[in-house]
Amino acid sequence: MSRILNHRMRSSLKKPSFTVVDKRAVAFSIYTGRSLLLHKPIDPNHIPRRKYGMLVARAVRGMLKIRYLVLGGAVGGGMTLNKKYAEWKDGLPDMGWLNDLLPDNEQWDKFTTTLINAKDMIGDQLQIDPRLREAGLARAAELRGWLAQRYEDAVAAAAVNSQTSAIEPAPTIVNNLQSKPAPTTSTGQAQVAFEEKAAYEKRVHALQQEVLSLQARYQRELQRLEQENRELRQQNMLLRQGRQPPTRKMKRSLIDMYSAVLDELAGWEAGEAGRLPRVVVVGDQSAGKTSVLEMIAQARIFPRGAGEMCTRAPVKVTLSEGPYHVAQFNDSSREFDLNKESDLADLRKEVEMRMRTSVRGGRTVSTDVIAMSVRGPGLPRMVLVDLPGVISTQTVDMAADTREAIKQMTKQYMDNPNAIILCIQDGSVDAERSNVTDLVASCDPQGKRTIFVLTKVDLAEENLANPNRIRRILEGKLFPMKALGYYAVVTGRSRKDDSIQSIREYEERFFSSSKLFKAGMVAAAQVTTRNLAMGVADCFWRMVRDSVEQQADAFKAMRFNLETEWKNTFPRQRELDRDELFERARAELLDQSAELSAVPAADWERRLAAALWAAAAERVFAGIYLPAAAHAALDVDKFNTSVDIKLREWAEGELAASAVEAGRRALRDEFEALLARAGDSDPVYEPVKRAAVDEALARHHWEERALDVLRVLQLTALQDGCVRSRADWDAAVELMDGALRERLQAAERQLRELTGPGLSERWLRWRSPSEDQSRRAQVRAELEQLGTSRPSLTYDEVVAVRDNLRRRGIEVDNEYIRETWKPVYLRNFLLSAQARARDCKKSFYLYSQQNGAEKECSEVVMFWRVHGALRASANALRQQICNREAARLDRELREVLDEMAADPDLKKKLLSGRRVELAEELKRVRQVQEKLEEFIEALNKEK
């Protein structure tokens, strides 16, 4: 069966059906033009319609497929896009709340109408500052006229050149390097004409470029003026509304940065550091130094005195270029408008006041630097230091060392190897009268950094018979000094009210008409202050660029050495300078002061009671108890009466004042205890804290009304002579016993000093009495045999004691015996009183049963009354301290600390030592280095 099936399958594969073969043959025949069955070409004319029909059918089928693809893609893409849009829309927040906030169309119409009306109303009232508007309009008109004139000149020049080239033949070009002209052939003429035409076109093109650049510049200037006008309108509107316009941070100029470095180096001039360039203006008194500086600054900024020394301290002036001519002190925010005479007068008064303030201690000149800056259009950028003029004779109203002080100050500034010395010499006086030239020659013998300036040349021309001397001066052949350059200037006409502009015009007219300079004795670059300023500024910046890098390296090395020393000496401590240390000490002290209010009442009571008893003990014993006991002897009533009188006198007298003083002492002791408990405090703070606390306590005074309150309380307590409880009785007995013990110890010490060491001390400590002490001991023994129960000796008793001592060979007088009697009697009295106090400690029951009528313990009652008065005083003082005095002391302490913070000399005195000095040096070196690096970076950018 399987064989039959396999045979049928092989036969079907070998003989394909006619239908399939026929279709393949027809398709092959159509595309190739050959018959697949007959193996020969088929005539296409037999089947033209069938061929075209097949092609059309295939094209239609392809188009239908493209349509299905396009439609399917469009439908799918649309559905995807619709889904993405729905997801995005669902993720948006709900903005419906804007409908409640935004106004509708009617409200918008009302708002725009209101704005238009406001614009019409404000337009007529709002006015810009007329000065600003006039300045801007004048500047714009000037620029517009200048541009128009340049444009007309360019057009006229182009027209003239075109007419000349059209009418006249082109001139021949002569070679200046040959002795005779070049031949003029036709070829040469054509070449010359071509070159001249090219040159003419080049000139026209250049003029066109210039006109275009001028137009662009004019447009930029107009835009800038419009921007300034808008800003001024905004500022004017803010000022009308009572608001201050916001201040913009101006970019610091290069010279201001350099001046800041010099300010950091103020007071550091003695060492190797700080040798940065500056222009030092030196000269004899009244030689014209200040006038030269004013001509360079283009303003009368210094006070003047006829024949009197005006410059009494160095004045550092930083000149820089700016849009407005203003001056300002470095430590002040006020700007002086140098175009206003009132501001100029105020500036001169301020300079004079600062100079007079800097001169202290009877001196005539001062080394304190007055620093100021002057900015203005066209000013050269440099730093000048105006020094007091060198004098040859001292007047009687000057200090004895004025001449030497000026010389040393001038020499100190000129010794800076990078300082430019501007040596001013008066040309109207004889050269032999100069004092400063020798000093300059000693500091700069080669003249590598000296610029010589001859002033008052107009007077010299009138007075000198030999004009050749001026020429020799300006050639450096008359004075024994050398200089980089020599200049001749005229800085005034001996008129104090002349303006700088008028002096400058007079100077230019003089040099243009002077016989000395018409003859060619001096070059044009050596005259006028304008050329002087340019030459000094060039020299200044050349020296700055040559030396600033070296100075920065020197400060880097200095910083490295100081940091190494700090790490080796104070490895675990922060680098805190004097100001930071003071602020830390201040904060710590104020924290401790705030803890006074947290002291418990029991501590205050205990400290105040001790302070009150220490203040009252002497008066209680010496003024009340002992006199009453001596006067009353064994009479108790008399003793009580005497005690009442003396206690009242004490309460009405000094008790309240002594209580207040004790309160102040207790407050001080508690404050010192708080300071002592701060164990982790830095020892360097202690001088500051101690000085502040002492000064605050010295200023602190108790309120006067507290005395009256204390006096009433003390009188009330002293009148209470009834002890109500056993605890109060025991407290009185303890007070009496303790007081007697202290006095007994003091009496025994006094006796030991009078009579010498006892027997035990002699044998155990090998001490022997003196002759006087032996005599006192004999007197003491004789008095003790006589009896010591009475407070004083009668005359007969004294004579008996003296006679007994004389029989022993001891000669003493009566006063000597009475002096010895006092400590002997006091000791015996205190011993008996101490025994009575111990006996009275057990007598409270008897005292209470007799309702205070017990007379044997009157001394205990007296001490109870004293104890009550002191306890009432302590309670009152504690309340006053907690309620008022601690807060007042804290306020006074803050005031003292504020005053100390404003006194650098006091901080320097209190905070001293190598640690503080090293931290200060590190801080200054870092500040100078940072400013130097910032300046060097800006200087390199400018290059």
494 band by pLDDT with thresholds 50, 70 and 90: low
The pLDDT, as a whole number, for residue 281 is 92
CB distance 337 to 326 below 8 Å: yes
**Most confidently modeled of 52-56, 409-413, 780-784?**
409-413
More confident site: 389 or 496: 389
Strands 326-329 and 315-321: unpaired
pLDDT average, residue stretch 65-79: 59
Q: DSSP 3-state helix, strand, coil percentages of the chain (rounded to 5)?
A: 65, 5, 25
The pLDDT, as a whole number, for residue 246 is 55
More confident site: 275 or 877: 877
116 band by pLDDT with thresholds 50, 70 and 90: low
Residue 486 has pLDDT above 80, yes or no: yes
Distances (CA, A) of 862 to 275, 554, 636: 81, 81, 12
Residue 199 has pLDDT above 80, yes or no: no
More confident site: 331 or 310: 331
The pLDDT, as a whole number, for residue 465 is 54
Beta strands in 285-388 (DSSP E): 315-321, 326-329, 336-337, 370-376, 382-386
17 band by pLDDT with thresholds 50, 70 and 90: very low
The pLDDT, as a whole number, for residue 736 is 87
The pLDDT, as a whole number, for residue 519 is 65
Strands 450-455 and 485-488: parallel
Residue 868 has pLDDT above 50, yes or no: yes
Chain mean pLDDT for the chain: 76
Report how far residue 93's alpha carbon sits from residue 88's, in angstroms, rounded to the nearest whole number: 10
Residue 37 has pLDDT above 70, yes or no: no
pLDDT digits 0-9 by tens, 801-848: 888 888 888 888 888 888 888 888 888 888 888 888 888 888 877 777
Least confident of 118-122, 573-577, 876-880: 118-122
More confident site: 232 or 683: 683
Interhelix angle 771-786/814-840, rounded to 10 degrees, is 60
pLDDT digits 0-9 by tens, 708-717: 888 888 888 8
Residue 181 has pLDDT above 50, yes or no: no
DSSP string, 84-138: HHHHHHHHS---TTHHHHS--HHHHHHHHHHHHHHHHHHHHH----HHHHHHHHH
Residue 631 burial by Cβ neighbours in a 10 Å radius (0-12, 13-18, 19+): middle
Look at residues 138, 131, 129, 126 and name the one whose alpha carbon lies nearest to residue 225.
138
SS (H, E, C) 822-863: HHHHHHHHHHHHHHHHHHHCCCHHHHHHCCCCCCCCHHHHHH
More confident site: 182 or 303: 303
Residue type, position 277, single letter: P
pLDDT average, residue stretch 108-112: 62
The pLDDT, as a whole number, for residue 431 is 64
The pLDDT, as a whole number, for residue 878 is 86
Least confident of 42-46, 358-362, 806-810: 42-46
Residue 272 has pLDDT above 50, yes or no: no
Q: What 3-state class would DSSP assign to 320?
A: strand
The pLDDT, as a whole number, for residue 336 is 92
Residue 62 has pLDDT above 60, yes or no: yes
The pLDDT, as a whole number, for residue 162 is 44
pLDDT average, residue stretch 445-467: 80
The pLDDT, as a whole number, for residue 279 is 92
Report how far residue 670's alpha carbon sits from residue 602's, in angstroms, rounded to the nearest whole number: 13
The pLDDT, as a whole number, for residue 327 is 92
Residue 315: phi and psi, rounded to 5, are -120, 115
pLDDT average, residue stretch 504-517: 80
Distances (CA, A) of 186 to 182, 189, 191, 192, 926: 12, 5, 9, 10, 79
Least confident of 424-428, 765-769, 866-870: 765-769
Report how far residue 339's alpha carbon sits from residue 325's, in angstroms, rounded to the nearest whole number: 7
More confident site: 321 or 25: 321
Produce one character per residue of 374-408: b if its CB has 16 or more CB atoms within 10 Å, e if not.
bbbeebbbbbbbbbbbbbeeeeeebeeebbebbbe
The pLDDT, as a whole number, for residue 179 is 33
Count CA within 13 A, CB hemisphere, residue 565: 14
pLDDT average, residue stretch 589-615: 84
pLDDT digits 0-9 by tens, 128-165: 445 545 555 566 666 666 666 665 665 565 554 444 44
Report how far residue 553's alpha carbon sits from residue 550's, in angstroms, rounded to the nearest whole number: 5
Q: Looking at the chain, how many residues does it have?
A: 943
Terminal alpha carbon distance of the chain:
111
The pLDDT, as a whole number, for residue 287 is 82
Least confident of 124-133, 232-241, 915-924: 124-133
The pLDDT, as a whole number, for residue 105 is 63
More confident site: 172 or 198: 198
Residue 635: phi and psi, rounded to 5, are -85, 110
The pLDDT, as a whole number, for residue 93 is 57
Give Cα 481 to chain centroid, integer Å: 43
Residue 286 has pLDDT above 50, yes or no: yes
